[in-house]
Each structure stands twice: as C-alpha cells, then as structure tokens.
Amino acid sequence: MTFVEGPVTVTVPATSANLGPGYDSLGLALDLRDELTGEVISTSSTTGGRTLEVTVEGAGEGTVPLDESHLVVRSMRAAFEIIGKQPAGLRLHCHNRIPHARGMGSSSAAIVGGLVLARALVAGGELILDDDTLFQKAAEIEGHPDNVAPAFHGGFTIAGDDDGFFAVRTAVDPRVSVVVFVPATGVETKTARGLLPETVPHSDAAADAGRTALLVAALSDAPEHLHRATRDFLHQEYRRPAMPESLALVDELRADGIAAIVSGAGPTVLAFSSGVESAETTKLTARCPEGWACHALSVDMDGVRIL
C-alpha cells in the first residue's frame, strides 16, 4: 500500500438535522462548505514517531486543538486504521466556514471530511475502504447518522440505526432553499440533548410521526405543505431553556406562516424559502436579529467531494 504524492483537498457541506419532527432521522445538506487539505509528509522525528502539522482558519481558529485530538485528525486516523497503515507524517489545513456548536453539522463535516480525505491519500483507497464502510465508521464516531448521512451523500436523507446504520437519499424539490439565522453564541449538543425527557405522550409521538411522513412528501415535491410538515412535538419545546431567543424567533416566524425550525440541536434557526434570490428570501434575511449572522443557502446535492 502506498500514499499519494502531494496534497489532496476535500470539501464537505454543512447539514441541518431533525428538520422539525424528524428527530435523529432526517437531514439536509446545505451549500456552505468546509475545505480540508491533507498531505502525507516525511517524519522528522528523531525517535521515529509521527509528525503532525495542523493549521485552522475560519470557524474554530484559535480555539480548536491542533494535535491528535483534533476531530478531523481523529477521523483520518480511524480511516488509516481500517486501511491498515498510518502515515509517518501528516500535514492538515482546515478552512472552516461552518459555524461551530450552532446545529449546522460542523462535527459531522469534520468526521466525514477526515475519513474521505484519509482514503483519498491512499492509492486505491476506495478499493480498500468502500462507501458503506466509510459511512458506518462516520456514524459510529458521531454516535448517530442523521448529520453524517447528508454530509456524505448530499441532498435530503433519511437515516437510522437498525443492526447497523443506514441512510436513504430522497428527492428535494428544486424550489426549496433555506435561510439560516445563526446566533453569536452556541449550545453544545450534549447540553441540548440533556433537556429531553425519557418518555413523551403517545399522542405527541403519533402526531410527530404524521408530520415526519408529510415532511418527506413536502420536501420531495410539495413545498406548499412545509409549514404544517415542520411542526415538531418531540424536542424543540423541551430545549427552550437552552435557547430562548432561538425558539422565540421560531415562534415569530411560524406565526407569520413561515416554515421555521431549530436546526439540529440549535441554536441556529432555519427557515425554508422558495429560492436563494427570491423576494421571499430577501424579506426573511431582513428579519435577522441584531448580532446574529444570516445566510441564504441552497440545498447541496453533492455531499462530500474531492477537488
């Protein structure tokens, strides 16, 4: 087995999971991409140990670790482990555009990007580590597949865990785009999950199942039903104490007939729109709260890709 010469660059999209009622199952890839460049280098360690050089610009710059604990590095090491050989030296540069701890899949992007990058640095890597094995490892590292599925496959995915992780990509109506409202401060996924109850009323579970099924249809070819389809019964209200401003914005937008949800574990708010350059999107971006960032984004249909 040999490593390729020179750097390899991989890009991977942001994602939004849950999409309202589809808790831990639905995910959508968004056209906001992190870019990872890796290269296998000769080690300069006199002890024969590994050499690692990590640089980061953009989101996480100055705060994320630059050593073996970096999530992209950990994911690359996991791929090399499956392939059967670790490089003596590794150089990694991350250009991050996906906000961290905002419910937009930054950790899934790091995991999927790191796994695909490592595979691409091995000559014939796809013959050793196929797509399904890579997806299984990505979901294992993340702990659930709802974000890694759209990061890997692109588009709109339905994912779960049933004797192994699975993901099915389904159609997205070309009229669908989104506006995301990103607060200045984040919420850790662990904190948001910790607010959820162990059980919910049967009536809420039944209502949520119906909205989830409707959401699949609405995103596929009936976006006029998105407002009704994005009504959540399982998680958003329980998380209000961790992100009161976000849920207040969701309430405000939904009262005006806009299909707005908390993106992933929050606190980013996502609102569905009818086109990145549409009048509807322009009106939505004008409602961005002071101090928040706002992005009009199309649905990313490519998923992770090698440049």
* Rg (alpha carbons) of the chain, rounded to whole number: 20
pLDDT of residue 46: 44
Asked whether residue 37 falls in the same domain as residue 143, the answer is yes
Tell me the three state secondary structure of residue 109.
helix
Q: Which domain holds residue 108?
A: 7-169+302-306
CA 132, 176, 306, 147 dihedral sign is: negative
pLDDT of residue 48: 52
Asked whether residue 164 falls in the same domain as residue 254, the answer is no
The number of beta carbons lying within 10 Å of the beta carbon of residue 194 is: 10
Asked whether residue 148 falls in the same domain as residue 235, the answer is no
Asked whether residue 102 falls in the same domain as residue 209, the answer is no
pLDDT of residue 49: 65
User: Is residue 15 assigned to a domain?
Assistant: yes
User: For residue range 15-68, what is the model confidence (pLDDT) as tens digits?
Assistant: 999 999 999 999 999 999 999 999 999 875 544 567 999 999 999 999 999 999
User: For residue range 282-303, what is the model confidence (pLDDT) as tens digits?
Assistant: 999 999 999 999 999 999 999 9
User: For residue range 189-233, what is the model confidence (pLDDT) as tens digits?
Assistant: 888 888 999 999 999 999 999 999 999 999 999 999 999 999 999
Over residues 229-245, mean pLDDT: 95
User: Is residue 83 assigned to a domain?
Assistant: yes
**3-state helix/strand/coil string of the chain:** CCECCCCEEEEEEEEEEECCCEEEEEEEEEEEEEEEEEEEECCCCCCCCCEEEEEEEECCCCCCCCCCCCHHHHHHHHHHHHHCCCCCEEEEEEEECCCCCCCCCHHHHHHHHHHHHHHHCECCHHHHCCHHHHHHHHHHHHCCCCCHHHHHHCCEEEEEECCCEEEEEECCCCCCEEEEEECCCCCCHHHHHHCCCCCCCHHHHHHHHHHHHHHHHHHHHCHHHHHHHCCCCCCCHHHHHHCHHHHHHHHHHHHCCCCEEECCCCCCEEEEECCCCCHHHHHHHCCCCCCCEEEEEEECCCCCEEC
User: For residue range 134-152, what is the model confidence (pLDDT) as tens digits?
Assistant: 999 999 999 999 999 999 9
Asked whether residue 263 falls in the same domain as residue 230, the answer is yes
pTM score, two decimals?
A: 0.94
Asked whether residue 151 falls in the same domain as residue 226, the answer is no
The CATH number linked to 71 is: 3.30.230.10
User: Is residue 2 assigned to a domain?
Assistant: no
The binding site for ATP comprises 99-109
Asked whether residue 197 falls in the same domain as residue 274, the answer is yes
The binding site comprises 99-109
User: Is residue 85 assigned to a domain?
Assistant: yes
pLDDT of residue 42: 82
Asked whether residue 42 falls in the same domain as residue 151, the answer is yes
Exposed, middle or buried: residue 39 (CB in 10 Å: 0-12, 13-18, 19+)?
buried
User: Is residue 161 assigned to a domain?
Assistant: yes
Asked whether residue 17 falls in the same domain as residue 143, the answer is yes
pLDDT of residue 47: 44
